[in-house]
Amino acid sequence: MEVSERFLQTALDGIQDCVNIVDRDFKIIFMNETASRVAGKKRQLLLGNKCYAELWKESVPCENCVTGKVFETAMPQQTVKWEPGLDGKKFCIEKFAFPILDKNGNVEYAVEIFRDVTDRKLLEEEREQQRLELGRRVRELRHAYEELKSTQSQLLQAEKMASMGILASSIAHELDTPLTTISGYCELLTEDIQDERLLGRVKIISEQIVKCQKTIRNLLDFSRKSNYEKKLCNIHDLINNTLLLVEHRLKIHKIKVHRTFGEHVPPLLVDGNLIQQVFLNLVNNAVDALPQGGDIFIETRLNKETRSVEIFFEDNGVGIPLGDQKHLFTPFFTTKEPGKGTGLGLSICSNIISAHNGKIALENNVSNGTKFVISLPI
């Protein structure tokens, strides 16, 4: 018997985990060298004492003790739990207990095995954090990739629109010459025709040709590359010339334009071509917001306090959701359907107005249209 105990003691002392055997009263009847070292006492002084008092410094059995559950269930138990150490630092202990049965099959003793797995748990937590961080980075990359694809598509659309603009300018230039010829022949016909009824018809043709020429020349002026050449311009003339470019579109969509031009509005030192581009963008946006027709209100006024001219573009269309308003002047942001906008219009408008030391802002009523305010210094 003594040889068996010595053999068992030697075998268990070689184990680096804490191993001890307790009876049903939680008295220690056997323990290895590691367990006695952790308890801070010699083995002979620990045998016969309560395990919870010697190992865990408790006055009663530990809460959720695996050993107690072994005595209750006669089944092996295991738990991993963070425990406070004597130095105030927490450490993670893996506890495992299994029963030793008597000849009648009742639990007589329980073998307790305790292992410090703090380093392993910290490593696992670090790896979990790294996994979560990697997942976050992957999601960010995926989002950036989707944004890049969207931006690429928008740039292609912008390039296509720029090509269409060049083509339209070329066509307009080609049309201007034959219209001039037709206009000249109309003038000759008015000198030869004596019939008042036919003369009236020729005059109508001549008036429509003049109107076409004016629209084409406005389009050519608008399409010319700007070098930020500022000169004194009548802001009302710029608005009227811009509306001529979209007159046909306004009629098709059954949209009425109401102009309220303030008195005493002085000429402004601006690049007229660029300011017309701003006006055109705002009018086109208003048309898009009025699919069933409606009204566009354009107003100008002199603000003597800020020494500026304020220009208001307002429509009674669908409005802009509150969540989208803060992104309106961001490049490539658009609330329009795919293929109907590049998201560059308002961003360009903002840059142009800023280059003129002015401001552009949105005054929006979500349920009743949109209102943009431009302020240009005198």
Q: pLDDT tens, 161-217? A: 666 666 666 676 677 778 778 878 788 888 778 788 888 888 888 878 877 777 776
- DSSP state string for 139-198: HHHHHHHHHHHHHHHHHHHHHHHHHHHHHHHHHHHHHHHHHHHHHHHHHHHHHH---HHH
Q: Please tell me the predicted confidence (pLDDT) of residue 197.
A: 82
Q: Edge-to-edge strand order for the sheet containing 255-261?
A: 255-261, 294-303, 308-315, 370-377, 359-364
- DSSP state string for 122-133: HHHHHHHHHHHH
Q: Residue 4: what are its φ and ψ, rounded to 5°?
A: -65, -40
- Tell me which residue of 346, 374, 343, 338 sits closest to 358, measured CA to CA: 374
Q: Please tell me the predicted confidence (pLDDT) of residue 193.
A: 81
Where are the domain boundaries for CATH 3.30.450.20 in the chain?
2-116
Where are the domain boundaries for CATH 3.30.565.10 in the chain?
226-377
Q: Please tell me the predicted confidence (pLDDT) of residue 310.
A: 92
Q: Is domain 2-116 annotated with CATH 3.30.70.260?
A: no
Q: Please tell me the predicted confidence (pLDDT) of residue 56.
A: 77
Tens of pLDDT along 225-245? 556 678 899 999 999 988 888
Which residues of the chain carry a pLDDT beneath 70? Answer: 1-3, 85-88, 151, 153-170, 172-173, 217-228, 321-345, 364-367
Of 1.10.510.10, 1.10.357.10, 3.50.30.10, 3.30.565.10, the CATH number of 226-377 is 3.30.565.10
Q: Please tell me the predicted confidence (pLDDT) of residue 221.
A: 62
- Tell me which residue of 197, 200, 240, 202 sits closest to 218, measured CA to CA: 240
